[in-house]
Amino acid sequence: MKLSIVIPAYNEELSLPETLQTLYAKLKEEAIDHEIVVINDNSKDGTLALLESMSKDIPTLVHYTNHGPNGFGYAIRHGLERFTGDCVAIMMADMSDSPDDLVKFYRKMQETNSDCVFGNRFMKGGRVIDYPKHKLILNRVVNNAARIFFRIPYNDFTNAFKLYKKETIKGLAPILSPHFNLTLEMSLKAVIRGYSFAVVPNSWTNRKHGTSNLKIKEMGSRYFFIFLYCMIEKFFSRGDFIKKS
């Protein structure tokens, strides 16, 4: 089972070297057939030049530039249209996600044949390191609201770090979110549409370089829109989007 990893990158020239080298070394050590797909989201720094240079040393690295429209969700959607694996993971460019956890996700999918594997930073065995307090509070409010309203026994929907089968990605179309609300949309729709999922604890570490591109004031209404969109699908679509046997 070939694994693809989609990594959106906007002005990440300082973070990408460690991220890509560590990820490639781990997957090579585990003998996992893979490709690393980095989407340069029209960066203004040296991200593109760095990717061109690193692709000479990392044979499984491919990269594309998303010329626009730009945004976290657009960049991931750009990658989801181009990956070639049997399953695809979404990871961050800033080393916040662990390659060791990715291997756990991959092995869990092989073991259970689940349509998706979701990370959970807040279950037993999960952990967060240097998470800004105001973001942590908002995170727990949003995720627990989703858990309660949708009656799903999972509470880390906004965690971008997840693994999906190729067929699952096709079944989530159309994906609407242009920004960080994509993380909520994809996981909610996967469950609502009847795709099976397994949950694995994972860690999250705050970035060493640069600043987060997540702007809380801008994202509130976007998360709320996706929340309502998924609520309407769940209760009024009459099963039109449910996974076909």
DSSP 47-60: HHHHHHHHTTT-TT
Closest of 17, 23, 171 to residue 90, by C-alpha: 23
Strand order in the sheet with 197-201: 61-65, 34-40, 3-9, 87-90, 162-165, 116-120, 197-201
The answer to whether residue 243 sits within a structural domain is no
The per-residue pLDDT for range 175-191, each reduced to its tens digit, is: 999 999 999 999 999 99
* The pLDDT value given to residue 137: 85
The answer to whether residue 244 sits within a structural domain is no
What pTM, to 2 d.p., does this model score? 0.92
The answer to whether residue 75 sits within a structural domain is yes
Report the CATH number at residue 135.
3.90.550.10
Q: Looking at 65-74, 192-201, 208-217, 226-235, which range is the least confident one? A: 208-217
The answer to whether residue 192 sits within a structural domain is yes
The answer to whether residue 217 sits within a structural domain is yes
The answer to whether residue 245 sits within a structural domain is no
The answer to whether residue 241 sits within a structural domain is no
The answer to whether residue 145 sits within a structural domain is yes
Question: Number of structural domains, the chain?
Answer: 1
